[in-house]
Chains A and B, each alone.
Chain A
Amino acid sequence: MASQDIIRRSGTSGMTPAAKGRNSSEQVAKLFDATKCNGCKACQVSCSEWNDLREEVGTFQGSYQNPMSLSGQCWTLMEFHEVMESNKLRWQFTHSACMHCADPACLKACSTSGAIIQHANGVVDFDSDKCIGCGYCASACPFDVPKIDPKDNKAYKCTMCSDRLAVGLEPSCVKSCTTGALRFGSREDMLFYSEKRVAELKEKGFPKAGLYNPEGVGGTAMMMILHDITQPDSYNMPVDPQIPLSVTLWQDWVKPLGAAGLIATAAVACLHKITVGRNIVEEDQPGYQPPEEEVKDKEEDDQ
Chain B
Amino acid sequence: MSKHDKQEMIVRHKLFDRICHWFIVAVGLVTFLTGFSIFFPSFQWMGAIAGTPQLARFIHPIAGLMMCLPLMLLLVRYYHHNKWEKNDLKWMLAIKDVMFENEEGIPPIGHYNPGQKVLFRTFVVTSIVLTVTGIMMWQPYFAPYFSGVVVGWAILLHAICALIMMIFVIVHFWMATWVEGSVAGMLYGKVSKAWCRKHHPLMLDEHSDVEKKH
Interface residues of A (CB under 8 A from B): 10-13, 109-113, 130, 132-136, 138-141, 144, 148, 150, 153, 244, 246-247, 249-250, 254-255, 258-259, 261-262, 265-266, 269, 272-273, 276, 278-289, 297
Contacts and interface: CB of A to CB of B under 8 A. Distances in A.
Interface in B133-188: 137, 139-140, 143-144, 148-149, 151-153, 155-156, 159-160, 163, 166-167, 170-171, 173-174, 177-181
Contacts of B173: 269
A262 B180 contact: no
B54 to A, nearest CB: 5
Contacts of B170: 262, 265-266, 269
Given A272-B99, A281-B192, A284-B194, A12 B41 contact: yes
B41 A281 contact: no
B174 A244 contact: no
Interface in B77-111: 99-101
B6 to A, nearest CB: 10
25 contacts: A11-B44, A109-B155, A112-B38, A130-B53, A132-B54, A133-B140, A134-B57, A135-B137, A138-B148, A139-B143, A148-B140, A148-B144, A150-B140, A153-B139, A247-B152, A258-B160, A261-B167, A265-B171, A269-B170, A276-B100, A281-B198, A283-B7, A284-B194, A287-B2, A297-B3
Contact of B101 (A141, A276, A289): A276
Given A113-B41, A134-B139, A281-B195, A286 B155 contact: no
Interface of B: 2-4, 7, 38-42, 44, 53-54, 56-57, 99-101, 137, 139-140, 143-144, 148-149, 151-153, 155-156, 159-160, 163, 166-167, 170-171, 173-174, 177-181, 192, 194-195, 198-199
A289 B56 CA distance: 52
A237 to B, nearest CB: 15
Contact of A279 (B44, B153, B171, B178): B178
Nearest to B146: A139
A244 B155 CA distance: 12
A178 B54 CA distance: 42
A249 B156 contact: yes
A284 B195 contact: yes
Given A135-B143, A265-B170, A269-B170, A283 B156 contact: no
Nearest to B5: A286
B152 A276 contact: no
Given A244-B149, A273-B178, 13 more contacts: A112-B38, A113-B42, A134-B38, A135-B140, A138-B143, A254-B163, A255-B40, A255-B159, A258-B163, A272-B178, A280-B181, A284-B7, A288-B3
B79 to A, nearest CB: 27
B139 A286 contact: no
A284 B192 contact: yes
A246 B152 CA distance: 6
Given A246-B155, A265-B167, A280-B180, A132 B192 contact: no
